[in-house]
Amino acid sequence: MQDYILITGGAGYVGSHTAWLLAQKGYRVVVLDTLAQSPHFPHRWAEFVCGDYGDRHLLEQLFTNYTFTAVIHFGAYTVVSESVQHPLNYYDNNVSKTITLLDVMVKHNILSFIFSSSCAVYGLPHYTPLTEEHPCNPISPYGTTKYMIEQVLKDCANAYGLKYVALRYFNAAGAQAREGLGERHIPETHSIPLLLQAAQTGKPFYIFGTDYPTKDGTCVRDYIHVQDLATAHYKALLHLVLYKNPSDIFNLGTGSGLSVKELINAVQQITRKELTIIPASRRIGDPALLVADPVKAMIILQWKPMYSDITTIVTSTWVFEQSQGLIKKESISQEQE
């Protein structure tokens, strides 16, 4: 009989891809999600529990009814600008509730934890590519919540023997359309879905800043395919549970950066649409350059991005958007079908 894994936020973007992968690997997956950010969870490859990871009573029931080998914690609020406007919501949801989850885990002697962290913990880079040793000075409440939980995990490891892996994602992107999995945010703020919506509707895409000290004046990001992120969680699980390796923190990115203008070119090529592009002012809190040094994850987790070239990322997102009926089918070129 395979192990049960609890996945909070498993109906969300990275969570659902990871839940799917673990189910394919033979794990029995329990997804815990309020569905507040994802409309539904129609999949049969996981058990689904609708609820909040900060609900102590529900957690007590779950940890009594199932013997979990590990918890993978994706549940969080993730919009940086919203975190600036409503910091208390973010500290409550991302920090207080996670502490409740950890408390119930420890009481039930479930001591393996994989945490969705973020490159937002670093703040403004002093150098790139960013290694895990780069100082952490988050510049948004969102980034601070992720960094606070990393600190909590370190202390829980010392005090209770908790074993954890924190995975600092760079720019999650792409989709696994065949499985009905992809990115869905309301409102959408991310560049690739917005560019694809612009390609479909003819609405303009605004470039937030064209005067950055980068190769073409626009921000450079490290886009990592969500299927590669899912694989990293699987490897992190093996690292902790199978190989019994120590707790650790890893960057998840490709090591190479793409500017907003390069992204626009890729979208225009793949969709064969001419976009209306409008240069706009910088968005608050956007560093010029965010690129990972992923060597540590490659060596210790034996992880390697397989789907993170920009063509695969944009094409898979385009196919997903179409499968959701958001973008008309006929506008995709024959090659991408």
Number of residues lying near ligand UDP (CB under 6 A): 13
Nearer to ligand UDP, 9 or 54 (CB): 9
Nearer to ligand UDP, 51 or 285 (CB): 285
Give the CA distances from residue 304 to residues 1, 113, 168, 308, in Å, rounded to whole numbers and listed in that order: 29, 22, 15, 10
Total Cβ atoms within 10 A of residue 187: 7
Q: Does 207 bind ligand UDP (CB under 6 A)?
A: yes
Q: Does 83 bind ligand UDP (CB under 6 A)?
A: no
Nearer to ligand UDP, 161 or 202 (CB): 202
Supply the minimum distance, in Å, between the C-beta of residue 281 and ligand UDP.
Answer: 10
What tokens appear for 165 in the block? 């892996």
Q: Which of 4, 206, 256, 326 binds ligand UDP (CB under 6 A)?
A: 206
Q: Which of 260, 266, 292, 313 binds ligand UDP (CB under 6 A)?
A: 260
- Cβ(217)–Cβ(210) under 8 Å? yes
Supply the minimum distance, in Å, between the C-beta of residue 67 and ligand UDP.
Answer: 37
Q: Does 3 bind ligand UDP (CB under 6 A)?
A: no
Nearer to ligand UDP, 47 or 286 (CB): 286
Q: Does 283 bind ligand UDP (CB under 6 A)?
A: yes
Q: Please indicate whether residue 212 is annotated as part of the active site.
A: no
What tokens appear for 37 in the block? 């950010």
Rounded Cα gap, residues 183 and 257, in angstroms: 21
Window contacting ligand UDP (CB under 6 A); options: 10-18, 151-159, 206-214, 250-258: 206-214
Supply the minimum distance, in Å, between the C-beta of residue 75 and ligand UDP.
Answer: 18
Q: Does 219 bind ligand UDP (CB under 6 A)?
A: yes
Segment 168-187, which members bind ligand UDP (CB under 6 A)? 171
Supply the minimum distance, in Å, between the C-beta of residue 133 and ligand UDP.
Answer: 22
Supply the minimum distance, in Å, between the C-beta of residue 209 and ligand UDP.
Answer: 6
Q: Does 84 bind ligand UDP (CB under 6 A)?
A: no
Q: Does 146 bind ligand UDP (CB under 6 A)?
A: no
What tokens appear for 328 in the block? 């008309």
Q: Does 145 bind ligand UDP (CB under 6 A)?
A: no
Q: Does 125 bind ligand UDP (CB under 6 A)?
A: no
> By C-alpha distance, which of 75, 150, 157, 158 is closest to 119?
150
Give the CA distances from residue 65 to residues 52, 82, 147, in Å, rounded to whole numbers and listed in that order: 17, 36, 32
Nearer to ligand UDP, 45 or 208 (CB): 208
Spot the catalytic one: 13, 142, 169, 223.
142
Q: Measured at CB, which residue is nearest to ligand UDP?
A: 219
- Total residue count of the chain as it appears in this document: 337
Residue 151 burial (C-beta neighbours within 10 Å; 0-12, 13-18, 19+):
exposed
Phi-psi sector, 299: left (phi>0), alpha (psi -120 to 50), beta: alpha
Give the sheet arrangement for strand 258-259, strand by strand.
258-259, 220-221, 289-290
Give the CA distances from residue 44 to residues 24, 52, 71, 240, 309, in Å, rounded to whole numbers and listed in that order: 12, 21, 20, 27, 30
Rounded Cα gap, residues 115 and 74, in angstroms: 7
Q: Which of 176, 191, 251, 322 binds ligand UDP (CB under 6 A)?
A: 191
Phi-psi sector, 272: left (phi>0), alpha (psi -120 to 50), beta: left
Indicate which residues carry an active-site annotation: 142
Which residues in this chain contact ligand UDP in the complex, by CB under 6 A? 171, 189-191, 194, 206-208, 219, 221, 260, 283, 286
